[in-house]
Amino acid sequence: MKGEAFRHWALVAANWAADYRTGLRDRPVRAGTKPGEIAAQLPRSAPEEAEPMVDIFADFERILVPGMTHWQHPRFFAYFPANASPASVIGEFLSSAMGAQCLLWQTSPAATELEMVALDWLRQAVGLPEGFSGVIQDSASSATLCAFLTMRERALGFTGNRTGLSGRPQLRVYTSSEVHTSIDRAAWFCGIGDDNLVRIPTHGPLRSMVPQALEAAIQADKAAGFVPAGVVACVGGTSTGAMDDVKAVVEVAHRHGLFVHVDAAWAGAAMVCPEFRSLWAGVEQADSIVLNPHKWLGVQFDCSAHFLRSADDHLATLAIHPEYLKTHAHDGIVNFSEWTIQLGRRFRALKLWFVLRAHGLEGLRQMIRNHVGWAQALAARIAAEPGFALASTPVLSLFSFRHDPGDGRDGDAHMLALLQAINDGGQLYLTPTRVDGRLAIRFQAGTMDATEADVDAAFHIIRDTACALS
């Protein structure tokens, strides 16, 4: 496809996208298809001969779109948001149209320089002090893996990459029980291992790591011959929004010379609002911080911002030419492929820049304040309904609740039935979690197009569905 045909189909796609976005409310939020139903409608092998675009596009609409869950739907209250604001979709389209590889400065100088500028805008926007440098990772999982590799290399005197890990001392990383599974997987993949990921107990309504327990665990490990390597602090856990006291965690960790990585993948976006920054007080002392503009800030997946207080240890771990890169701050040249696991890199800063400009920080703040206000009001309303109770305290725009039909039925089974009935109705999409061993329904408001009326509708649907099941 070239020339005028490309223009034609790009315009068809643009029109389709605009209609899709304005018509989202008429679609069920979650796909209702059964496993295998979509694949069964597709040929088993690729066509030998080129097919007309008109057929491909028609099959996209007829076969695939009905099998999609609509993450941009204003009544998507499941998981965490994955906002793709129209401005970011346009940035992504342009990046895709140019199809540049942005691994080195010279392979696309504008991409590297915009990445530095846009991340520095974001650094200021979330209140991190000057001196932090940033890189766009594909996901928080990758940023966290890089942080674990850095912890490992620091603890081994930067010899692990060369000698491998066999026969080396057993390293330890500390975290709470509330962290995302990407922390477990980073511990597996970096060779530290699950058995050496030490879970520190939590306390209080925010389920924060107990600093005295962290101190005790480090001391006990040292006495037992282990080598502590780092701590991962949680700012906005996936299940209930757990928040560690970053300041206290950093104090303990740095006393022992340990590297601190902060996982703020979801909640970090809220720090564009100064009034929420007390939730991560002390973060300016952390060594590594990840937050995902691809969640709440409206930048189309993938765009994960990874900030480093000093990039030296990170580069000594990941860069294949460390001597050369040591000059990066002096000659102004950054080769971002040396900051990430992958070599190839798309021009992801473009969509971040489009979003920051098209919404302005004030637009993003207003969106986040709305979501937080609506979710907290909904939590209070649900808590006041007979039979309902909150399972976890609202944190920003996230809370979880339970319903008791009052007839002695098994709580977990009833919660699953309620969740299924709500989701099968197609008007809302919510997901479950386990809080203190029992199932609960999670609610988060975060979709860019959600309105107060959508959150109000959620209240009525949740209450009426529960009544109908009781």
Instruction: Decide: is 400 part of the binding site for ligand PLP (CB under 6 A).
Output: no
The torsion angles phi and psi of 166, rounded to 5 degrees, stand at -70, 135
Residue from 241, 239, 259 nearest 249 by CA: 259
- For the bound state, the minimum distance from the C-beta of residue 252 to ligand PLP, rounded and expressed in Å, comes to 21
Burial of 128 (0-12, 13-18, 19+ CB in 10 A): buried
Binding mask 354-383 for ligand PLP (x = CB under 6 A): ------------------------------
Beta carbon nearer to ligand PLP, 72 or 238: 238
Q: Which of 88, 176, 288, 304 binds ligand PLP (CB under 6 A)?
A: 304
Size of the site for ligand PLP (CB under 6 A): 13
Beta carbon nearer to ligand PLP, 209 or 325: 209
Binding positions for ligand PLP, 64-93, rule CB under 6 A: 80
Cα 18 from chain centre: 26
Beta carbon nearer to ligand PLP, 308 or 418: 308
- For the bound state, the minimum distance from the C-beta of residue 423 to ligand PLP, rounded and expressed in Å, comes to 20
The torsion angles phi and psi of 171, rounded to 5 degrees, stand at -85, 155
- Please state at what angle helix 349-383 crosses helix 86-98, rounded to 10 degrees: 150
- For the bound state, the minimum distance from the C-beta of residue 302 to ligand PLP, rounded and expressed in Å, comes to 7
Instruction: Decide: is 269 part of the binding site for ligand PLP (CB under 6 A).
Output: no
The torsion angles phi and psi of 76, rounded to 5 degrees, stand at -85, 105
Instruction: Decide: is 303 part of the binding site for ligand PLP (CB under 6 A).
Output: no
Beta carbon nearer to ligand PLP, 104 or 264: 264
Give 16's strand partners.
Answer: none
Is 92 within 8 Å of 351 (Cβ atoms)?
Answer: yes
Q: What three-state secondary structure class fits 391?
A: strand
Q: What three-state secondary structure class fits 217?
A: helix
- For the bound state, the minimum distance from the C-beta of residue 244 to ligand PLP, rounded and expressed in Å, comes to 11
Residue from 295, 214, 203 nearest 243 by CA: 203
- For the bound state, the minimum distance from the C-beta of residue 390 to ligand PLP, rounded and expressed in Å, comes to 20
Overall residue count recorded for the chain in this entry: 470
Q: Which of 208, 292, 335, 465 binds ligand PLP (CB under 6 A)?
A: 292
Q: Which of 176, 238, 300, 340 binds ligand PLP (CB under 6 A)?
A: 238
**Could you say which DSSP state residue 170 is in?**
P
Backbone φ/ψ region at 406: left (φ over 0), alpha (ψ -120 to 50), beta = left
Q: Which residue stretch of 188-196, 258-266, 268-276, 447-455 sits at the interface with ligand PLP (rule: CB under 6 A)? A: 258-266
- For the bound state, the minimum distance from the C-beta of residue 344 to ligand PLP, rounded and expressed in Å, comes to 18
Q: Which residue stretch of 193-201, 261-269, 375-383, 425-433 sits at the interface with ligand PLP (rule: CB under 6 A)? A: 261-269
Is 63 within 8 Å of 56 (Cβ atoms)?
Answer: no
Beta carbon nearer to ligand PLP, 318 or 396: 396
Q: How many CB atoms lie within 10 A of CB 449?
A: 17
Binding mask 106-145 for ligand PLP (x = CB under 6 A): ---------------------------------xxx----
Is 17 within 8 Å of 415 (Cβ atoms)?
Answer: no
- For the bound state, the minimum distance from the C-beta of residue 80 to ligand PLP, rounded and expressed in Å, comes to 5
- For the bound state, the minimum distance from the C-beta of residue 177 to ligand PLP, rounded and expressed in Å, comes to 13
Is 286 within 8 Å of 260 (Cβ atoms)?
Answer: yes
The torsion angles phi and psi of 429, rounded to 5 degrees, stand at -135, 120
Is 444 within 8 Å of 81 (Cβ atoms)?
Answer: yes
Binding positions for ligand PLP, 147-186, rule CB under 6 A: 180, 182
Q: Report the alpha-carbon distance of residue 399 to residue 442 in Å, rounded.
A: 6
What is the amino acid identity at position 225?
G
Q: Which of 263, 287, 313, 338 binds ligand PLP (CB under 6 A)?
A: 263
Instruction: Decide: is 348 part of the binding site for ligand PLP (CB under 6 A).
Output: no
Residues in contact with ligand PLP by the rule CB under 6 A: 80, 139-141, 180, 182, 236, 238, 263, 265-266, 292, 304
